[in-house]
Chains A and B, each alone.
Chain A
Amino acid sequence: MSSDSHTSVCHLPARSGRVRASSAMAGSVLALAGIVASLSPAARAADQQLVISVYGFAQDAFSEIVYKPFEAQCDCELIVETGNSVERLAKLEARKDDPEIDMAVMSTHDALSASRKGITQAIDVSRLSNHGKLYDIAKDPLGDHLGIGYTFYATSIVYRTDKVSIDSWQDLFKEEIKGRVAFPNVSTNQGPPALYMLGKAMGETDSTLAAPIAAVAEHADDIVTFYERSSQVAQLMQQEEILAAPIGRFAWGAYTKMDLPLAWATPSEGQTGGMNVMILTKGAKNEDLAYQFMDFWLSTEIQTALAEALVDSPANAEVEVSDEIAANLTYGADTVSTLDLLAPDIILDNREQWLESWNNSVTQ
């Protein structure tokens, strides 16, 4: 990435005179050691530490709503590691035998992958006082309490109501929006669910997703881009580059602020989506704190605060929010019950093959 970095060159004044080799070396080593030492974080005094691994999204809000209040309550230090799912999962796997991370949040299929790799352990839900308050689909989405759902989202299509009407997932290929559609890349969390619904609209619910991938490949030239980040879609919509795109409901907030006639489609085939779960690492060094933290995050108070900040839709069924907030979330028992989610094992078992057939036919 030579183009994206700047190199600074420093010129040392030439020194004449005798320089003793040993003292020069000692000096340089000392200086290096000093620099290295100044870069490492100062040791903190807190007795107990809890290390969590989370998505990089909305960390400012999480810090205010979840992390700081929890630290105040537990008298412990919370160390937060962020990153995308692949990086975080790779790190968890690398430290499987001596885990530094106590609890993590991830998508259901990544959590299933983690449990198959022996990274996670079953969660004893009797230690979570708020577990009973969760919607049924969040209570044990992976089986054996290997993950507890803390939020979910719907995935549907955002579209310009003045240019097109979207009543089916197949309407993404309508003539009037040809060349004005963004579609999620198969590698994103939105990709497979969107393809699955497209397949459903075509009458093909085969888990190979062969039919919808072929349909996308056929229309690849009419699709502006296969996006990898939801923030990118908002920008393209704002710029009127695109008129429709499948997105996750968690990104909807950005669209409500745009001065454009936008709507959230309710296609006849239904909406899909995804769920994120909390996992507990096998051999976690701070298990008690991890349980306390999970219970805190699932509590009605915290789930309500996260919902009101439009950060995460609540998995706690006792959360009550205003209609205005609810309209921006995936909220309420009725909505939750209509979500047609791809099962985590289907995603995990087919992911490589989807990527392969997508790469061979859609993007080159």
Chain B
Amino acid sequence: MFDNRLEGLALVLPGVLFAALVFLLPVGILLGEGFQGVDGWSLAPYIEFFSSERNRVVFFRTLKLGAMVTVVAAIIGYAAAWSIVSLSPQSRGRMIGLVILPLMISPVARTYAWIVILGRTGIVNQALTTIGLSDEPIRFLFTETAVFIGLLQLFLPLMILSLCSALENMPDDAVPAARVLGANSLQVFWKVILPLTREGLVIGGTLVFTGSLTAFITPAILGGSKVLMLETLLYQRVTVANDFASASIIAMILIVMSFCANLLLKRLATARASR
């Protein structure tokens, strides 16, 4: 496209400079703070962070909720995506539109809606007491259940969209062929659909898992200080204690968790494919 490399580089330079100056450099400085021990660079701040029982509880809760949301989103996502791609192209477009719709509504508004829905007088509790599943309203708000529901609703569309595009790219005759060869539904899913859609699952899984780890508004509103997650703990360290050192440690942990999740999902996908 360009006569020489220099011109291409020159065009890209302002963007690179901008990103380096306002993003990479500050992030580097912030993350570096987490490695500052009493005498120079050290891992001591991390060891200290994990020596606190509360921090460990928050870390494992974040990991657990992120994993649960990802797994449940994948299960619901496969079912939804399968139904959507088997529709006529016109209906498929409409359904995809409906899946995307929540993404166009502010997460704050959606999360506040959950406060009303999950409240003591909300529809969930009304339904439960009306059909006699519970004698009195159940407390959902400010529990892990509320955060789980909020995060699942927030990120499920991303999983459905990733799986839809993966399923669309799957050869049309793959499933009928497996059927003809005598595979049952579970075998079809496990041995045909899953391997053929693993790319979509890796992308969707990474988006959902990373999203759940780094979501702030949902755990802050639906969990509050009783269900702290790493992201809300980070915010609290900065705004309550002005403790940027802990905050940078948490930020680093979140980045590492996201990378690990992506690597793990890729590994799982390739392991299945190479069988």
User: Which A positions have Cβ atoms within 8 angstroms of B?
Assistant: 1-4, 14, 16, 18-22, 24-25, 28-29, 32, 84, 86-87, 89-90, 179, 185, 187, 220, 224-228, 235, 239-241, 355, 359-360, 363-364
| Least CB separation from A5: chain B residue | B107
| A-side contacts of B14, CB under 8 Å | 25, 28-29, 32
B120 adjacent to chain A (CB < 8 Å): yes
Task: Give the contacting residue for B7; candidates A2, A21, A28, A363; CB below 8 A.
Answer: A21
B198 to chain A, nearest CB (A): 23
Query: Can you identify 14 A-B contacts, CB atoms within 8 angstroms?
Result: A1-B231, A3-B215, A4-B215, A20-B7, A21-B7, A25-B14, A28-B13, A28-B14, A87-B239, A179-B139, A239-B115, A239-B116, A240-B119, A241-B119
- Chain B interface mostly helix, strand, loop or mixed? helix
- Whether the pair B225, A86 counts as a contact (CB closer than 8 A) is no
Q: Are B139 and A224 in contact (CB under 8 A)?
A: yes
Which residues does chain B contribute within 8 Å of A89, judged by CB atoms? 242
Asked whether A225 lies within 8 Å of B1 as measured between CB atoms, the reply is: no
- Whether A226 pairs with B226 at a CB distance below 8 angstroms is yes
Query: Could you say which of A4, A84, A87, A220 contacts B217, with CB atoms under 8 Å apart?
Result: A4
Query: Are A225 and B11 in contact, with the CB atoms below 8 A?
Result: no
* Measured CA separation A21–B226 after assembly (Å): 57
Docked pose: A220 CA to B143 CA in angstroms: 12
Complex contact A86–B239 (CB within 8 A): yes
A3-B218 in contact given A25-B14, A226-B224 (Cβ < 8 Å): yes
Q: Report B62 CB to chain A, min CB distance, Å.
A: 13
With A86-B240, A241-B120: A227-B214 Cβ-Cβ less than 8 Å:
no
Partner of A19 from B11, B107, B155, B214 at Cβ < 8 Å: B11
Given A4-B216, A239-B115, decide whether A90 and B11 contact each other with a Cβ distance below 8 A. no
Q: Which positions in B face A, CB cutoff 8 Å?
A: 1-3, 6-7, 9-11, 13-14, 18, 53-54, 57-58, 107-108, 115-116, 119-121, 139, 141-142, 154-155, 210-211, 214-218, 224-226, 228, 231, 236, 238-242
Known: A2-B215, A86-B241. 17 other contacts (CB 8 A): A3-B107, A3-B214, A3-B217, A4-B108, A4-B217, A19-B11, A21-B11, A22-B10, A25-B10, A25-B14, A90-B242, A185-B225, A224-B141, A227-B224, A239-B121, A355-B241, A364-B54
Most chain A C-beta atoms within 10 Å of own C-beta, residue among B53, B120, B228, B241: B120
Residues of A within 8 A of B3 (CB): 18
Contact across chains for B18 and A32 when beta carbons are under 8 A apart: yes
Would you call B236 and A24 a contact (CB within 8 A)? no
* Distance (whole angstroms) from the CB of A213 to the closest CB of chain B: 14
A119 vs chain B, min Cβ distance (A): 14
- In the bound complex, residues from chain B placing their C-beta under 8 Å from that of A226 are 224-226
In angstroms, Cα B238 to Cα A29, docked, is: 35
Given A3-B214, A25-B11, verify A228-B6 contact (CB < 8 Å): no
